[in-house]
């Protein structure tokens, strides 16, 4: 086509586009305004008419501005005519589509968004895994009564006699262990210094004395710390003991992670960290896992271990009634299978311990009074005793017969709960074997017992010290292989150890640090990915050594601090105050380190000449948020806009997610009249808000700038902000205040319209392209939502509830939730909180300043691209330090139209990996038993509607009413709950919680799906969650002459070829998420990364039967029938090889060349060499 024709065509398109734009402007008039529906307010009416007139006047101005800007575009276009082909077409595209509500294509910077993201339906298992034991079914029929079982209080009488053992031999494996918490009553370092160091010294020394002795060790955080300071002789001994099998490493994670609040990213990460260290130091790969203390157990752990190549796992803290039921059925050993598994590929052998605790009194057999006597760490004179009245007794020649028979009786009784004649008996407790005297006492006294039992064949028993794997090997050979064990699907929440003492408090305890943990997780992931992508750049610039030496130690430290907090007294919020502060400081410093890594890597990859990068030089690209202290939320750094400068201020935005992404970015700036342009110098829509200093007062010198940004997958984009007194692309928000105090000064910036409204029974409405949300003018709380796509109105309310801890001797604390009854409303009908309504072209918000919580509901406008316009975004700034002693505050989202038809079913996630069906049952189990972990989401649904609440931070959740999702926000407990922490929990902090509410409707023909055993979030839901967990981060240039930014730095970093426009369907499939790109360490030194990285990919299972599937647009491949991933769409790389999930075992050895498939629900690791 001749160039002139193109120019004409473009001019025509522009004219048509402008007309359409003007039409939309008038049509959309009220949309950026707040719509008030009032019955009898003439004044209001007049007021709003005046407002409309005023707006029309403004609009005319805007239209003129737009025409002017359009003319500029035309001029630019004619310039572009001289440019080369592809570049010109991009400009044409962007002009036609600028601000166009229904784009046909997108400007270059918007990448390759699929027109309609109707993802291919995956072949998912809706029916459940058809196991021998379905936990969900079992929970419905189990006997929850706490009847007295005799010596085994929570169980039943077990009898045995010599007769039974004729012709059989009981093979007893005694497994010594010491449970070392990396922080609980003391800090991680203090425990190490005072106890763990000596424990490991003792073990290594005493195992080396006798080859028959055994020990197991679980926490690599401690073993590595010990290894660093141990003398060379002991290091060598440890190596030999591991090599000859006397010392077995179990699980091998950095810590024994919590299983309720943790996200699978951090679970995998802390396991990799431990396994890498183990492989480098001892050249060993664990095969059995050991989790004796986490407060409830998740199948996610079983899945991850299986994919890491583990054969066996052991769990302990399971509800006493469940244990009793399993013991009766002799099913304490089973094959744990994922509920979504169609076959048995996820099966892993699991042993559930039968009794109350993992200490010696509760592990040798059913009678703690007897078992306690065989804890030789409780011999008279050794700090501990037996609370059952009979002390431990040393074994002598005189008493050995009687003692051995007494103990054997317990072993035999215990063995009757299992299906084999192989018995596991663990021998240890918290921080045991720290004194030489104790170590010697345990090993030598048991040796005497062993000798007696083994030499008296009439006792029909063989007994020895074993490791966990030796036990599993023996048991499996006895039973005839794993396949002979019953299969099981489901989870083990919520845990109760006795009476109605349910451990659902820790799902929320210390919520500030739970929030910070997710913040660190996101930063850590962001830093890992960008660091791995920057490595090849550094290599080709010849600065690899200095670059990696400067930044890798920060990456490494941050991995370990994130890992440490996954500990079951870390993220759970169940440590003493000084320990919590210690964790908090570590988290803070690692978030700041990760920010530094991200900004330094951004600098390197954006430099036109990367060899200019100096690791020692001051930071050039700085983060826009800092953590000043460990106990306060992040603060935004103010970006200075110089009104007089010729050059604009440049900000850099990082999208750590796997797909090109569009969304709103929020900055603090010094100017309210600004224009934001993208890297093509095309203006993007922006909005300026005031910053509040009090309920109705604002700052005069700083503002919040919101703009719509688009950034490539795991890439960077730059945007420029300049002072601009008049621009159609920026709007100031309009503010109205309800319930303002009569003496309130409505301060006071002329350019912003701030006015008060009187309270009435009316509702006011905010809307975007997808939703119309109504709020009460009385108290500002949400009332109704209209989904515009189907024009269905439904009641969706939010309110806050308060639980009061019940009285009595045993009260709620950090672990336990023990309410005196149902929640009461936090606010009364008469409460009239100040309500601010802030509406602009991109962001519309309602701020409710209620007591103890500032509740903000937001709608986003981003041209329907990206997940955010579909969500109702909720932020709660929670502070319960006043008036809330022994109370818990919850948020309740109520939607009668989404209520489960059976009145009891709802769904919560497990570790962000999978959904678990829950059944509320207030008749059989108390309120606190009906609360579950909510690491990332929960939903209620019926055959029409699904209502999902996504959370950016782990909390406890319930659905006590079929129409309701209730999330516990914070809890303040003024006493200890007798689980060892020995202090109240009243160190509450101001905490910012973020949630997203999604309303989706089932499309026709899928009526069976909403009732299936397995449910899956939609692609929209997955992407919304990723969006809220991994927000786009902003950085800005610091100390660089603005005039030098463009010459020295590129305006974007696009690491994945799929982000290239015109490359067709070359993006990753919608359901594929890059979990991590983690640089690997050298085998020789842990402070130096090698060329290789671990690429961890997830194919999340997604529901395609919801209407969001036809509405939501994302930059991903919507339909590739086999859901395969093309290697070409990933990063440029020279090799990619599948390996086990924690990288230690080779996969099928075959390097991947073309397309490869990750089955839905699976997470897979690859060793890759990036180029």
In a 10 Å sphere around its CB, with 0-12 CB exposed, 13-18 middle and 19+ buried, how is residue 44 labelled?
middle
Query: Residue 31 is encoded by which pair of tokens?
Result: 């949309």
User: Closer to Zn ion at the Cβ: 181 or 671?
Assistant: 181
Query: Residue 1009 in contact with residue 1003, Cβ under 8 Å?
Result: no
Which range, of 123-131, 288-296, 557-565, 713-721, touches Zn ion by CB under 5 A? 288-296
Nearest residue to 592 (alpha-carbon basis) of 561, 615, 618: 561
Taking phi first (over 0 means left), then psi (-120 to 50 degrees means alpha), and beta for anything else, what does residue 982 get? left
Active-site residue flag, 293:
yes
- Binding residues for Zn ion, rule CB under 5 A, total 2
Residues 669, 671, 672, 678, Cα dihedral to 10°: -70
* Beta carbon of residue 182, minimum distance to Zn ion (angstroms, whole number): 9
User: Closer to Zn ion at the Cβ: 293 or 375?
Assistant: 293
* Beta carbon of residue 568, minimum distance to Zn ion (angstroms, whole number): 5
* Beta carbon of residue 256, minimum distance to Zn ion (angstroms, whole number): 7
User: Closer to Zn ion at the Cβ: 70 or 296?
Assistant: 296
- 348: which strand partners? 336
**Chosen residue from 73, 134, 181, 429 binding Zn ion by CB under 5 A:** 181
Rg, Å, the chain Cα set: 31
Which range, of 242-250, 291-299, 513-521, 677-685, touches Zn ion by CB under 5 A? 291-299
Three-class secondary structure of residue 607 per DSSP: strand
Which range, of 179-187, 472-480, 838-846, 1134-1142, touches Zn ion by CB under 5 A? 179-187
| Cα distance from N-terminal residue to C-terminal residue, the chain | 39
Cα four-point dihedral sign 114, 118, 124, 126: positive
User: Closer to Zn ion at the Cβ: 93 or 257?
Assistant: 257
The whole-angstrom separation of Cα 1083 and Cα 263 is 28
User: Closer to Zn ion at the Cβ: 181 or 1162?
Assistant: 181
Which range, of 206-214, 289-297, 509-517, 698-706, touches Zn ion by CB under 5 A? 289-297
Which range, of 177-185, 752-760, 872-880, 924-932, touches Zn ion by CB under 5 A? 177-185
* Beta carbon of residue 316, minimum distance to Zn ion (angstroms, whole number): 10
Q: Mask: binding to Zn ion, 6-45, rule CB under 5 A, as x and -?
A: ----------------------------------------
Tell me: does residue 219 bind Zn ion (CB under 5 A).
no
User: In this structure, what are the phi and psi dihedrals at residue 1072, rounded to the nearest 5 degrees?
Assistant: -100, 130
User: Closer to Zn ion at the Cβ: 181 or 1081?
Assistant: 181
Q: Mask: binding to Zn ion, 132-171, rule CB under 5 A, as x and -?
A: ----------------------------------------
Nearest residue to 848 (alpha-carbon basis) of 860, 861, 830, 836: 836
Got the DSSP string for 367-409?
Answer: -HHHHHTT-GGGSTTSS---TTS-------TTTHHHHHHHHHH
* Beta carbon of residue 294, minimum distance to Zn ion (angstroms, whole number): 8
CA angle 727, 869, 92 (to 5 degrees): 50
Query: Residue 286 is encoded by which pair of tokens?
Result: 């664990």
* Beta carbon of residue 293, minimum distance to Zn ion (angstroms, whole number): 4
The whole-angstrom separation of Cα 360 and Cα 376 is 9
Which range, of 174-182, 436-444, 826-834, 873-881, touches Zn ion by CB under 5 A? 174-182
The whole-angstrom separation of Cα 1076 and Cα 1128 is 18
* Beta carbon of residue 183, minimum distance to Zn ion (angstroms, whole number): 10
* Beta carbon of residue 569, minimum distance to Zn ion (angstroms, whole number): 6
Got the DSSP string for 448-511?
Answer: HHHHHHHH-GGG-EEEEE--HHHHHHHHHHHHTSGGGSPEEES-B-S-BSSTT-B--GGGTSSH
User: Closer to Zn ion at the Cβ: 293 or 1051?
Assistant: 293
Cα four-point dihedral sign 608, 609, 615, 620: negative
Q: Which residue is nearest to Zn ion (CB)?
A: 293
Which range, of 86-94, 173-181, 503-511, 657-665, touches Zn ion by CB under 5 A? 173-181
Q: Which of 201, 258, 293, 375 is catalytic?
A: 293
The whole-angstrom separation of Cα 149 and Cα 366 is 10
Tell me: does residue 293 bind Zn ion (CB under 5 A).
yes
The whole-angstrom separation of Cα 517 and Cα 953 is 8
Other residues' Cβ atoms within 10 Å of the Cβ of residue 668: 17
User: Closer to Zn ion at the Cβ: 181 or 909?
Assistant: 181
The whole-angstrom separation of Cα 603 and Cα 595 is 12
The whole-angstrom separation of Cα 384 and Cα 1049 is 66
Q: Mask: binding to Zn ion, 1000-1029, rule CB under 5 A, as x and -?
A: ------------------------------
User: Closer to Zn ion at the Cβ: 181 or 473?
Assistant: 181
CA 10 to chain centre: 47
The whole-angstrom separation of Cα 212 and Cα 464 is 8
Range 751-790, binding Zn ion (CB under 5 A): none
* Beta carbon of residue 432, minimum distance to Zn ion (angstroms, whole number): 12
User: Closer to Zn ion at the Cβ: 129 or 572?
Assistant: 572
* Beta carbon of residue 187, minimum distance to Zn ion (angstroms, whole number): 14
User: Closer to Zn ion at the Cβ: 181 or 993?
Assistant: 181
User: Closer to Zn ion at the Cβ: 113 or 815?
Assistant: 815
* Beta carbon of residue 495, minimum distance to Zn ion (angstroms, whole number): 14
Which range, of 207-215, 292-300, 854-862, 1138-1146, touches Zn ion by CB under 5 A? 292-300
The whole-angstrom separation of Cα 1171 and Cα 535 is 9
* Beta carbon of residue 929, minimum distance to Zn ion (angstroms, whole number): 23
* Beta carbon of residue 567, minimum distance to Zn ion (angstroms, whole number): 8
Which range, of 180-188, 746-754, 962-970, 1088-1096, touches Zn ion by CB under 5 A? 180-188
In a 10 Å sphere around its CB, with 0-12 CB exposed, 13-18 middle and 19+ buried, how is residue 821 labelled?
exposed
Tell me: does residue 799 bind Zn ion (CB under 5 A).
no
Other residues' Cβ atoms within 10 Å of the Cβ of residue 853: 23
Nearest residue to 74 (alpha-carbon basis) of 20, 23, 18, 1: 18
Nearest residue to 340 (alpha-carbon basis) of 913, 1147, 907, 946: 913
User: Closer to Zn ion at the Cβ: 290 or 654?
Assistant: 290
In a 10 Å sphere around its CB, with 0-12 CB exposed, 13-18 middle and 19+ buried, how is residue 103 labelled?
buried
Residues that bind Zn ion (CB under 5 A): 181, 293
Q: Active-site positions?
A: 293
């Amino acid at each position: 086509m001749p160039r002139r024709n193109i120019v004409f065509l473009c001019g025509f398109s522009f004219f048509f586009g402008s007309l359409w734009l003007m039409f939309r402007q008038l049509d959309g008039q009220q949309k950026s305004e707040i719509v008030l529906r009032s019955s009898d307010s003439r004044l209001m009416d007049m007021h709003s008419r005046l407002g409309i007139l005023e707006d029309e006047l403004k609009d005319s101005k805007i239209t003129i501005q737009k025409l002017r800007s359009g003319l500029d575009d035309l001029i630019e276009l004619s310039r572009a005519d001289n440019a080369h082909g592809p570049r010109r077409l991009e400009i044409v595209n962007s002009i036609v589509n600028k601000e166009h509500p229904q784009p046909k294509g997108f400007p270059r910077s918007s990448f390759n968004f699929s027109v309609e993201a109707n993802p291919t339906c995956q072949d998912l298992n809706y029916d459940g895994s058809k196991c021998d034991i379905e936990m969900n079914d079992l929970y419905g029929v189990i006997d929850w009564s706490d009847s007295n079982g005799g010596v085994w209080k929570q169980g039943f009488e077990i009898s045995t006699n010599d007769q039974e053992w004729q012709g059989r031999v009981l093979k007893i494996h005694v497994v010594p262990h010491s449970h070392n918490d990396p922080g609980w009553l003391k800090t991680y370092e203090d425990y190490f210094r005072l106890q763990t160091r000596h424990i490991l010294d003792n073990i290594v020394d005493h195992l080396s004395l006798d080859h028959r002795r055994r020990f197991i060790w679980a926490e690599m955080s401690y073993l590595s710390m010990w290894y660093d300071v141990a003398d060379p002789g002991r290091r060598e001994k440890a190596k030999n003991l591991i090599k000859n099998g006397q010392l077995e490493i179990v699980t091998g994670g950095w810590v024994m992670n919590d299983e309720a609040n943790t996200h699978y990213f951090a679970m995998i990460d802390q396991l990799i960290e431990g396994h890498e260290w183990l492989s480098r130091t001892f050249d060993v790969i664990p095969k059995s896992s050991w989790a004796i203390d986490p407060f409830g157990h998740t199948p996610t752990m079983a899945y991850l271990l299986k994919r890491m190549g583990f054969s066996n796992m052991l769990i302990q803290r399971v509800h006493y009634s469940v244990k009793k039921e399993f013991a009766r059925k002799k099913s304490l050993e089973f094959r744990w299978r994922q509920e979504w598994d169609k076959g048995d590929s996820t099966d892993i052998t699991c042993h559930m311990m039968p009794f109350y605790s993992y200490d010696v009194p509760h592990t040798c057999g059913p009678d703690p009074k007897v078992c306690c006597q065989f804890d030789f760490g409780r011999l008279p004179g050794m700090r501990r005793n037996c609370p059952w009245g009979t002390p431990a007794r040393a074994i002598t020649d005189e008493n050995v017969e009687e003692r051995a028979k007494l103990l054997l009786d317990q072993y035999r009784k215990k063995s009757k709960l299992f299906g084999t004649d192989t018995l596991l008996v663990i021998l240890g407790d918290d921080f045991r074997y720290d004194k030489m005297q104790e170590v010697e006492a345990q090993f030598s006294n048991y040796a005497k017992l062993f000798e007696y039992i083994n030499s008296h064949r009439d006792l029909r028993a063989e007994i020895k010290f074993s490791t966990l794997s030796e036990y599993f090997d023996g048991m499996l050979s006895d039973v005839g292989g794993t396949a002979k064990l019953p299969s099981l699907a489901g989870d083990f929440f919520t845990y109760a150890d006795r009476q109605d003492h349910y451990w659902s408090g820790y799902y929320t305890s210390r919520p500030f640090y739970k929030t910070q943990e997710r913040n660190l997780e996101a930063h850590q992931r962001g830093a890992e990915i960008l660091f791995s992508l920057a490595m090849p750049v550094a290599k080709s610039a010849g600065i690899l050594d200095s670059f990696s030496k400067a930044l890798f130690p920060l990456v490494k430290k941050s991995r370990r601090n994130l890992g440490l907090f996954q500990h079951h007294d870390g993220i759970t919020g169940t440590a003493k105050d000084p320990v919590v502060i210690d964790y908090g400081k570590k988290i803070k410093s690692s978030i700041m380190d990760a920010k530094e890594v991200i900004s330094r890597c951004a600098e390197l990859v954006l430099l036109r000449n990367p060899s200019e990068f100096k690791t020692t030089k001051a930071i050039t690209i700085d983060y826009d948020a800092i953590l000043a202290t460990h106990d306060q939320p992040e603060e935004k750094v103010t970006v200075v806009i110089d009104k007089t400068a010729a050059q604009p201020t440049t900000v850099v935005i990082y999208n750590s997610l796997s797909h090109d992404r569009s969304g709103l970015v929020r900055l603090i700036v010094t100017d309210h009249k600004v224009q934001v342009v993208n890297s093509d110098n095309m203006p993007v829509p922006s909005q300026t808000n005031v910053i509040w200093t009090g309920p109705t007062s604002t700052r005069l010198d700083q503002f919040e700038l919101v703009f719509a940004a688009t950034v490539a997958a795991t890439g960077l984009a730059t945007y420029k902000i300049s002072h601009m007194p008049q621009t159609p692309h920026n709007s100031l928000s309009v503010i109205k205040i309800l319930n303002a105090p009569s003496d309130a000064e409505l301060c006071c910036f002329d350019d912003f319209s701030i006015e008060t409204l009187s309270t009435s029974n009316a509702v006011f409405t905010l809307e975007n392209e997808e939703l119309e949300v109504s709020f009460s003018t009385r108290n500002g709380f949400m009332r109704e939502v209209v989904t515009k796509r189907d024009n269905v109105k439904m009641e969706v309310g939010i309110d806050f509830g308060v639980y009061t801890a019940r009285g009595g001797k045993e009260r709620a604390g950090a672990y336990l939730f023990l309410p005196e009854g149902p929640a009461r409303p936090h606010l009364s009908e008469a409460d009239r909180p100040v309500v601010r309504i802030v509406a602009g072209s991109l962001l519309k918000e309602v701020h409710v300043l209620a007591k103890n919580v500032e509740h903000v509901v937001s709608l986003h406008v981003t041209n329907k691209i990206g997940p955010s316009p579909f969500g109702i975004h909720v932020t709660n700034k929670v502070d319960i330090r006043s008036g809330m002693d022994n109370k818990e505050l919850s948020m309740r989202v109520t939607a009668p139209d989404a209520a489960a038809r059976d009145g009891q079913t709802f769904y919560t996630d497990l570790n962000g990996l999978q959904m678990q069906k829950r059944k509320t049952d207030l008749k059989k189990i108390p309120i606190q038993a009906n609360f579950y972990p909510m690491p990332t989401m929960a939903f209620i649904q019926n055959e029409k509607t699904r209502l999902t609440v996504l959370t950016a931070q782990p909390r406890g959740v319930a659905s006590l009413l079929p129409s309701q999702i209730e999330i516990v926000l914070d809890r303040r407990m003024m006493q200890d709950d007798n689980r060892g922490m020995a202090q109240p929990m009243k160190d509450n902090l101001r905490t910012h919680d973020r949630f997203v509410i999604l309303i989706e409707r089932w499309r026709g023909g899928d009526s069976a799906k909403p009732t299936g055993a397995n449910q899956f979030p939609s692609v929209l839901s997955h992407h919304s969650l990723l969006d809220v967990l991994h927000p786009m981060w902003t950085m800005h240039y610091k100390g660089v002459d603005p005039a030098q930014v463009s010459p020295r730095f590129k305006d974007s970093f696009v690491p994945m070829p799929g982000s290239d426009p015109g490359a067709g369907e070359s993006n990753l499939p919608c359901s594929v998420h890059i979990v991590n790109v983690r640089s690997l360490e050298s085998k020789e030194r842990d402070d130096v990364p090698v060329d290789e990285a671990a690429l961890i990919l997830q194919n999340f299972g997604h529901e395609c039967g919801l209407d969001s599937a036809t509405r939501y647009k994302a930059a991903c491949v919507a339909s590739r029938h086999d859901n395969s991933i093309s290697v070409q769409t990933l990063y440029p790389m020279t090799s990619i090889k599948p390996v086990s999930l924690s990288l230690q075992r080779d996969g099928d050895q075959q390097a991947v060349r073309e397309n490869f498939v990750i089955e839905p629900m699976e997470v897979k690791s690859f060793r890759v060499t990036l180029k």
